[in-house]
Amino acid sequence: MAEGVSVGRPSGSLRKILVPLALAQFICSFAGSNMNVMINDISKDLDTTVEGVQTAITVFLLVMAALMIPAGKLTDRWGRKRCFTAGLIVYGIGALMSAVSPGLGFLILGNSIFEGVGTALLIPPVYILTTMLFSDVTSRARAFGVIAGMGGVGAAAGPLIGGVIATAISWRAAFVFQAAIVAVIIFLSRSIVDPVAPDPTRPFDILGAVLSAVGLVSVVMGILQADTNLGLMVVLVAVGALILTLFFLHIRARERRGEEPLLSTQLFRNRISNLGLVTQNVQWLLLIGTSFVVSAFLQVVRGYNAIQTGVIFTSATAGILASSLAAERLAKKYPQRTLILVGFVATIAGIGVLLAISAWAFAPGLLLIGLGVGVMLTPSVNVVQSAFGEELQGEISGLSRSVSNLGSSLGAAVAGTILVSNIGDKSYAAAMIVLACIGVVGLGATLLLPAQRVQRS
């Protein structure tokens, strides 16, 4: 393993490296939520509908989820730093394409495809590098606290920043802002050195990559059909489940033949890691799902403009920022299971407050959700990443980010599908109730986690 930090605070060089890594997570999370407050502006400018914008948002999240596992594996072959830089470049190109989009199709190409592919390439290296460089639980919790916190802030602050830019200039300027941040990250990441040399001869499981991507895409696309074609939804979800089953059988067969699979089946045999992955998926599903539902409701039903909607979300941003900054102190004082448990309770309570639907309830409800999500982001990541040694970090990082982004996709798909079918008070309440029920599932998974420190496989 590359030399990490075992005690005390990280060195100045590592803190310097942490800045571009955290900014990268920020801008990718920002991209997943900032369009929520520009639904009306984009739909009018591009002559499309709320459903069309929802599709662009969901496809962006879906592309990330589908490609995160193969991209995580490619870091071993191409190198973590090279994948990180390549991802930033592709992302930046996609942001600029989105800024000049003449129609919805071009927006989907730039934002959903290019930015989605770029994110899938650059995010796994963020978590792999962090795990390799920060070796003990406390220092890693501090580093993951910064990165996960910036991710949460990006998702929560996306509506505010996007709203300010869209109102003051144009929704197109929000994508120029993303491209500018990407340029800054590329400049700041010059000093990052890959702690482990890439191995160009490392085999890559192409069939496994195709099966995993197609399976995930089929499941989420099926959910998107829930409000228009129930039969097609059932078919797509069933096909997706079948393909994912074939994917698992495929990687198990490769292992038995002594060949390297896309993912080691060992990743699925670790009970603690599996439960941690469930909590990660549900956390991002709740955050992105709530963001989309509340943003669409405020704009379409209440008539709020982009900046008014963004201001409402400042309470969620403040909550995530406050709890993420306390990640290191909380990690020293409480078990990770306790933090995740408290986070889910606070988040579900926040959704309950949002169900009141009265104007005063949005700020406190979003604050509770922000505090809850911020509290549990870091320990959930730490539970999963720390469950495996260095040799599996590329795979578990890809799987972890894929599961998290799949949660984001499902949040936008599930909640959005319920809401846009007939936007109003009833559909808003139905979407929030579904999110609360899913939160209970995450709470149940957390209760099954052990209270003690995670032991590596």
What residue segments make up the domains of the chain, in order of their start?
12-204+262-447, 205-261
Burial class (CB in 10 A: 0-12, 13-18, 19+), 392: buried
Quickly tell me which residue has 């009018």 as its tokens: 44
CA 275 to chain centre: 17
H-helix segments, 326-392? 327-333, 336-354, 362-385
For residues 273 and 383, is the Cβ–Cβ distance under 8 A? Answer: yes
What is the per-residue pLDDT for 454? Answer: 45
- What 3-state DSSP class applies to 197? coil
| Dist CA 136 CA 397 (whole Å) | 17
**In contact, 205 and 394? CB cutoff 8 Å:** no
> For residues 351 and 369, is the Cβ–Cβ distance under 8 A?
yes
Please give the CATH architecture assigned to the domain spanning 12-204+262-447.
Up-down Bundle (1.20)
Q: Which of 345, 337, 311, 339 is nearest to 323 (CA)?
A: 339
pLDDT at 360: 54
Nearest-angstrom CA–CA distance, 141 and 250: 35
Q: Is the pLDDT of residue 92 over 60?
A: yes
Residues 99 and 114: their CA atoms lie apart, in Å, by 13
Q: Report pLDDT for 1.
A: 37
CB atoms within 10 A of CB 226: 17
Distances (CA, A) of 75 to 68, 78, 332, 409: 11, 5, 31, 23
**Which one, of 124, 440, 416, 396, lies nearest residue 282 by Cα?**
440
C-alpha closest to that of 126 among 203, 19, 204: 19
The single-letter code of the amino acid at 284 is W
d(CA 383, CA 378): 9
Mean pLDDT confidence for 228-255: 90
Average pLDDT, integer, range 12-35: 83
State what percent of residues in the chain have pLDDT above 90.
28
Lowest mean pLDDT among 21-35, 133-147, 265-279: 133-147
Lowest mean pLDDT among 26-35, 95-104, 361-370: 26-35
Using an 8 Å Cβ cutoff, are 407 and 291 in contact?
Answer: no
Joined together, the tokens standing for residue 152 give 């949460």
Amino acid symbol at 290: T
Instruction: Please state, in angstroms and rounded to a whole number, the distance separating the CA atoms of residues 448 and 278.
Output: 11
Of 68-72, 127-131, 269-273, 437-441, where does the model show the most confidence? 437-441
User: How many residues would you count in the chain?
Assistant: 457
How far apart are the C-alpha atoms of 248 and 244, rounded to whole Å?
6
pLDDT, tens digit (0-9, with 9 covering 90-100), for 103-160:
999 999 999 999 999 998 998 888 888 877 776 666 766 777 788 778 777 877 787 7
- Computed over every residue of the chain, the mean pLDDT equals 83
